[in-house]
Structure 1
Amino acid sequence: MKNQEPEFNIKDVSQKLFFQDEIMTLAKGNSPYLLNKSRLVYPAFFNKIYMIQPNLKNSELIFCIYLKLNLTTKEIATYTFVTPKAIQNRKNRLRKKLSIPSDVDIYKWFNNL
């Protein structure tokens, strides 16, 4: 029997937009609540990530959220207080861990999950 995370159903479009805006605000503020809130709003996304690589650290999962939100390297660097080069290195390491081919756009890959 498969252990599944409970689904967080959002039926009202305005409520869904509210949660997406809240996640974006948490991301921009580099909030410690970003991961937990994202798990509630995007449970299917996290299930798919765990199926591909179950051993990702929380910091790597948070980085996945930034990529899912389509934030640029510069934006992620600004929000997380690191250099754009460090973000580019993190993208490359994450590509290897998740087996994302180098010719695939990483943002499209996360959006297609």
Structure 2
Amino acid sequence: MKNIAEDEIIRLAKENSPRLLSKFKILYPEFFEKLAQIQSNLQNSELIFCIYLKLNLTTKEIATYTFVTPKAVQNRKNRIRKKLNIASTVDIYKWFDENL
């Protein structure tokens, strides 16, 4: 059952669907609880970007799905790093995997 839900999350991410955030919140409430403990005032667009990172999507994939340039995705990664206090020496995907 979980695989069907995960497949739907990936599909929603690829479609850049507005339903991605609410669906992810239902399936993984602890993800948002942990994020809120680190940084409580993230905007929805930042939460969605965090979902993309948690899904381990590459910069190029995120750029494709969200209709922005890879450079814009890199800039967003840097802003998220600052907001979540992730050191530049730390792999952001590994951080999301281990901490959220």
Task: Name the TM-score, length of structure 1 as normaliser.
Answer: 0.87
The corresponding residue for 2:26 is 40
* Aligned counterparts of 1:45 and 1:32: Cα–Cα separation in 2: 18
The corresponding residue for 1:10 is none
SS of the equivalent of 2:16 reads coil
Match of 1:27 among 1, 6, 13: 13
What's the C-alpha RMSD, in Å, of the aligned pairs? 0.4
SS of the equivalent of 1:90 reads helix
Give unmatched runs, 5+ long, in structure 1: 1-14
**What percentage of residue pairs aligned between the two structures are identical?**
72
The corresponding residue for 1:105 is 91
Give unmatched runs, 5+ long, in structure 2: none
TM-superposed deviation, 1:64: 0.2
* Aligned counterparts of 1:16 and 1:43: Cα–Cα separation in 2: 14
Task: Name the TM-score, length of structure 2 as normaliser.
Answer: 0.98
Is 1:88 the counterpart of 2:61? The answer is no
Q: Which has the larger radius of gyration?
A: 1
The corresponding residue for 2:48 is 62
Greater share of helix: 2
